[in-house]
Structures are given as structure tokens and as C-alpha cells.
Amino acid sequence: MNTTETAEIGCPYCGERIEVVVDCSVEHQEYVEDCAVCCRPITISAWVDEDGTVSVISRDENDS
């Protein structure tokens, strides 16, 4: 069974679409990853539903 999935998000700074890897063995996770285009820090929240559906939200570091 594959424990990772990729998801596409939009950078909250430059708007470019980037791909992130989500560890599906963790139900909910939040981490910071730099945009591959503009290099600014993106806060990424990802979770896996009971049916295995992966959801991802990205926001800038100053958004609470």
C-alpha cells in the first residue's frame, strides 16, 4: 500500500501551482514548505479522511 500521495496547491504569494507530497499514514499534519517558484514559506495543512481522501489547504505564514 502506498503511504504517500501528491497534491497540487496554489502558492498564496505568487499563485503558481506546486506539487506537495502528503504522508497518508498520518491522519492530520501541518508543516511549512518553501514555494519552489518564489521561495516564500507556505503553511500546509493536510489530512486524510476515513475513506482515504486527501485534503490540503495552503496559506501564507502570517495567516492564522
Q: How many structural domains comprise the chain?
A: 1
Q: Look at residue 6 and tell me whether its pLDDT is greater than 80.
A: yes
Q: Are 30 and 44 in contact (CB under 8 A)?
A: yes
Residue 51: what pLDDT?
Answer: 87
pLDDT bin (cut points 50, 70, 90) of residue 64 is low
Q: What is the mean pLDDT of residues 36-62?
A: 92
Buried b or exposed e, range 24-33, using 16+ CB within 10 angstroms: beeeeeeeee
pLDDT bin (cut points 50, 70, 90) of residue 50 is confident
Range of the domain at 35: 4-60
Residue 1: what pLDDT?
Answer: 52
